[in-house]
Amino acid sequence: MKKRTMSAWGSAILIFIILMIVTPTIPQSQAYHNFADQRSFLGIPNFLNVISNFPFLIIGLIGLILCFYPEDYFSFSLRGEKIGWTCFYIGVAAVAFGSSYYHLHPNDATLLWDRLPMTIAFTSIMAIFVIERIDEHKGTYSIAPLLLAGLVSILYWRFFDDLRPYALVQFVPCIVIPLMAILLPPMYTHSTYWLWAAGFYLLAKVEEAADKPIYSWTHHIISGHSLKHLCAAMVPVFLTLMLAKRTVQTERISLYKTWKKGSEEERFEHSYSNVAVEETR
């Protein structure tokens, strides 16, 4: 078991090194800091981009409280789950402070404090998924290395002006988690909440890219970046609802097999309903 784990980590590190060799560096564009909505209100610069981070604090604190009180409200069944989810909610709550601090004075130095808590959330979620869907022990022991990898990706960007490691930390979970949620059998019910969370995060990235067009389309009421904060905050909202509602799955079947089974039954029922019934006399 340990040998296979070491092989997996070794393969991942090797793939990462090859990618770093064959791909060009990605410097931080200074245009990134030029957000559409730069209005001040009550003496707060970039007011909406700052206060739209407030939901992260609320849902982060709620999640932390429910992780520990009332006892076992989330009904964690596996070793390491509470540690992983605690790290996740700490990251979510810290986003409110880090992102607000960045948007008060957008520049590379303050951006570090915006991205650091996000990497805590991303890497914690990956560890949680490994715990639940692959192996309980491997997932538990991967929490610290994944958090460290996130920290290193931020420091590498800051010191070498290269976003490639951070991009991997951010986008690999966005691809891997929905796939794992669909293909791997879950231990708990309400697994579709993972897909809702992934959908809202994808929407948030679209809104971030369309910051200025959305600001123009809404007649300067709200920008895409402010909406991005609100949509991204829906990710921990859906995951918290999932934790509150889920129970241990009696029969572990992946979402893909569930959907496939449902479509086959629907086709069978449709075919059966088309069979002509001969009237008896």
Any binding-site annotation on 225? Answer: no
Nearest CA-CA partner of 50 in 13, 104, 120? 104
Nearest CA-CA partner of 90 in 131, 62, 132? 62
User: Helix H segments across 71-220?
Assistant: 81-104, 108-129, 136-160, 164-183, 192-209, 211-217
**8 Å CB contact between 214 and 224:** yes
Can you tell me the distance from the alpha carbon of 106 to that of 114, in angstroms, rounded to the nearest whole number?
A: 10
**8 Å CB contact between 153 and 119:** yes
Extract the tokens encoding 152. Answer: 């290193």
Can you tell me the distance from the alpha carbon of 147 to that of 131, in angstroms, rounded to the nearest whole number?
A: 15
Nearest CA-CA partner of 183 in 252, 81, 111? 252
Is residue 218 classed as helix, strand or coil in its secondary structure?
coil
DSSP 163: -
CB atoms within 10 A of CB 185: 15
Which residues sit opposite 248 in a β-bridge?
188
Is residue 188 classed as helix, strand or coil in its secondary structure?
strand
The binding site for Zn(2+) comprises: 103
The binding site comprises: 103
